[in-house]
Amino acid sequence: MNAVIRGTGGYAPEKVLTNADFEKMVETSDEWIVSRTGIKERRVVSNGETNSDLCYKAAQRALEMANISPEDLDMIIVGTVTPDYFLPSTAAVVQEKLGAFNSAAFDVAAACAGFLHGLSIARGFILNGNVKRVLVIGSEVLSRITDYTDRSTCVLFGDGAGAVVVEADENGVEGGSGVLSSYLKADGSKTELLWIPIGGSKDPITQQNVDARGRYIMMSGNEIYKLAVRAMCDAAQKTLDQAGIGTDEISWLIPHQANIRIIEGVAKRLKIQDEKVYLNIEKYGNTSAASVPIALDEANRRGMLKKGDYILMVAFGGGLTWGASLVRW
């Protein structure tokens, strides 16, 4: 038995924020943003557009590719830190919108590594024989938790959703396809390097702090850069070691699209050639949990992923959390 990806889907809002737009909002420039991040534009939701709306559209595309109806799903997992509500889960809202009433539904809060956590959880349930079909979504509406007066963070983030349908396959291991291995890790001692301090039950929003910057994403960029490269490389190597695969056998590295310098650092340390690294950061920016599945779906729909290809996915985010998954297509 193995967990095989049957379908992929992605969705990004229509509204575009370009670097030129940010030149009018904060003291920055297109050259500064591109040289330090690799980002040229990002998508953001319009008024009334929600996280579950993005999930729904990405999920529809994944289900259509997999030729599976919502009623066939046993489980829906949504990786997100920007849920529609604190209660209920965004996954439950997505279940209702899809009409997937035979499924369990829950969220995973692992920031930028949320999709890979969800994929690993789905694989575990499938290998245990508890479920047959799981919809895994990574989706974020980061524009609603971004401080657009902070030039060090506001240029980084965008909104979007990506999804995969994962199905049990009795021939998966023999055929060599499916999710071969995963590795997840966290370090809660470094929470304050990337966090939103105000708004939870510890320090809820009040009339006194409603305008405080702590309502938004706060990040120590230099420290995150150094930790991210090392952690992502470690997770990737451990994932490859589990499967007995060398980096020279990797067909595609699909990394979290956080920062071009981080991506380049990871690829260099893993000795993966530039032409094997999938990039779309210039179009979407950092979409957190949505980043990896959006990139996976793009590569898939472009016909870039061939049967038998080894796909290495890796991400790092707040928590701190990080992880990697190896898939044979």
Q: What are the residue numbers of the active site?
A: 112, 256, 286
Give the E-state strand segments of the chain in sequence order. Answer: 2-11, 16-18, 41-43, 75-79, 104-108, 133-141, 159-169, 178-186, 194-195, 218-219, 252-255, 310-317, 321-328
Per the structure block, which two tokens stand in for 179?
A: 């999710």
State the Cα–Cα distance between residues 305 and 54, nearest whole angstrom: 24
Q: Between the CA of residue 221 and those of 76, 101, 110, 225, what are the distances in Å? A: 33, 42, 18, 6
Dihedral angle of Cα 256, 323, 148, 141, to the nearest 10 degrees: 80
Decide: residue 44, CB within 10 A, 0-12 exposed, 13-18 middle, 19+ buried.
Answer: buried
The CA-to-CA distance between both ends of the chain, in Å, stands at 15
Cβ(54)–Cβ(297) under 8 Å? Answer: no
DSSP 8-class letter at 275: G
Alpha-carbon distance of 117 to 293, in angstroms, equals 12
Any residues with CB less than 8 A from the CB of 211 and at least 6 apart, and which?
none
DSSP assignment letter at 210: T
In angstroms, rounded to a whole number, what is the distance separating the alpha carbons of residues 127 and 84?
A: 31
And the tokens for 234? 């470690």
For 67-210, where are the alpha helices, taking DSSP H only? 90-98, 114-127, 172-175
